[in-house]
Structure 1
Amino acid sequence: MEVIIKDSAAELATVAADIVQRLVHRKADAVLGVATGSSPVGLYDELGRRVAAGTLSLAGCQAFMLDEYVGLAADHPQRYRNVIETELVARTDIRSERVHGPDGLASDIPAACAAYEQAIRDAGGVDLQVLGIGTDGHIAFNEPTSSLGSRTRIKTLARQTRIDNARFFDDEAQVPTHCLTQGVGTILEARRIVLLAEGEQKAEAIRQLVEGPVSAMWTATALQWHPYVTVIVDQAAASRLALHDYYLDVYAQRPGWQE
Structure 2
Amino acid sequence: MRIIIEDNYEALSKKAALMVAGQILLKPNTVLGLATGSTPILMYRELVRMHKEEDLDFSEVITFNLDEYVGLDRNDKNSYYYYMFENFFNHVNIKMENIFIPNGMADNLEEECKRYERLIEEKGGIDLQILGIGKNGHIGFNEPDLKFEATTHVVKLDDETIKANSRFFNRIDEVPRFAISMGIKTIMHSRKIILLSNGEEKAEAVYKAIYGPIVPNHPASVLQLHPDVTFILDRNAAKYLS
Is TM-score (shorter-chain normalized) higher than 0.5?
Answer: yes
Structure 1, residues 16-56: CA drift from partner, whole Å, max 9, x if none?
A: 11111111111110000000001111110110000001341
Q: Give the match for residue 235 of structure 1.
A: 235
- Once structures 1 and 2 are overlaid, which stretch shifts more, 108-117 or 10-19? 10-19
Q: Which runs of 4+ in 1 moved over 3 A?
A: none
Q: Give the match for residue 168 of structure 2.
A: 168
The CA distance in 2 between the partners of 1:147 and 1:110, in whole Å, is 19
The CA distance in 2 between the partners of 1:168 and 1:21, in whole Å, is 28
Structure 1, residues 189-213: CA drift from partner, whole Å, max 9, x if none?
A: 0000000000001000000011111
Q: Give the match for residue 117 of structure 2.
A: 117
Q: Percent identity?
A: 38
- Once structures 1 and 2 are overlaid, which stretch shifts more, 142-151 or 197-206? 142-151
Q: What is the root-mean-square deviation in Å for CA atoms of aligned residues?
A: 1.0
The CA distance in 2 between the partners of 1:116 and 1:107, in whole Å, is 14
The CA distance in 1 between the partners of 2:142 and 2:74, in whole Å, is 23
Kept after mapping to 2: 8 A contact 1:66/1:140: yes
Equivalent residue runs for 1:60-139 within 5 Å: 60-139=60-139
Secondary structure of the 1:106 match is: coil
Kept after mapping to 2: 8 A contact 1:146/1:219: no
The alignment's TM-score, normalised by the length of structure 1, stands at 0.91
Q: Report how far residue 221 of structure 1 moved.
A: 0.5
Kept after mapping to 1: 8 A contact 2:74/2:80: no
Q: Report how far residue 12 of structure 1 moved.
A: 0.7
**In structure 2, what residue type is equivalent to 1:189?**
H
Structure 1 residues 146 and 44 mapped into 2: Cα distance closer, same or farther (>3 Å)? farther
The alignment's TM-score, normalised by the length of structure 2, stands at 0.97
The CA distance in 2 between the partners of 1:89 and 1:26, in whole Å, is 21
How many pairs does the alignment contain? 242
Structure 1 residues 146 and 90 mapped into 2: Cα distance closer, same or farther (>3 Å)? farther
Kept after mapping to 2: 8 A contact 1:31/1:62: yes
Q: Report how far residue 90 of structure 1 moved.
A: 1.8
Q: Give the match for residue 187 of structure 2.
A: 187
Q: Give the match for residue 44 of structure 2.
A: 44
Kept after mapping to 2: 8 A contact 1:200/1:236: yes
The CA distance in 2 between the partners of 1:54 and 1:93, in whole Å, is 13
Kept after mapping to 2: 8 A contact 1:198/1:236: yes
The CA distance in 1 between the partners of 2:70 and 2:139, in whole Å, is 18
The CA distance in 2 between the partners of 1:110 and 1:213, in whole Å, is 31
The CA distance in 2 between the partners of 1:182 and 1:126, in whole Å, is 12
Structure 1, residues 136-170: CA drift from partner, whole Å, max 9, x if none?
A: 00000000016325210100000000000001000
Structure 1 residues 146 and 67 mapped into 2: Cα distance closer, same or farther (>3 Å)? farther
Q: Report how far residue 65 of structure 1 moved.
A: 0.4
Secondary structure of the 1:154 match is: strand
Q: Give the match for residue 143 of structure 2.
A: 143
Kept after mapping to 2: 8 A contact 1:147/1:184: no
Note the residue ranges of structure 1 that are not aligned, 5 or more in a row. 244-259
Note the residue ranges of structure 2 that are not aligned, 5 or more in a row. none
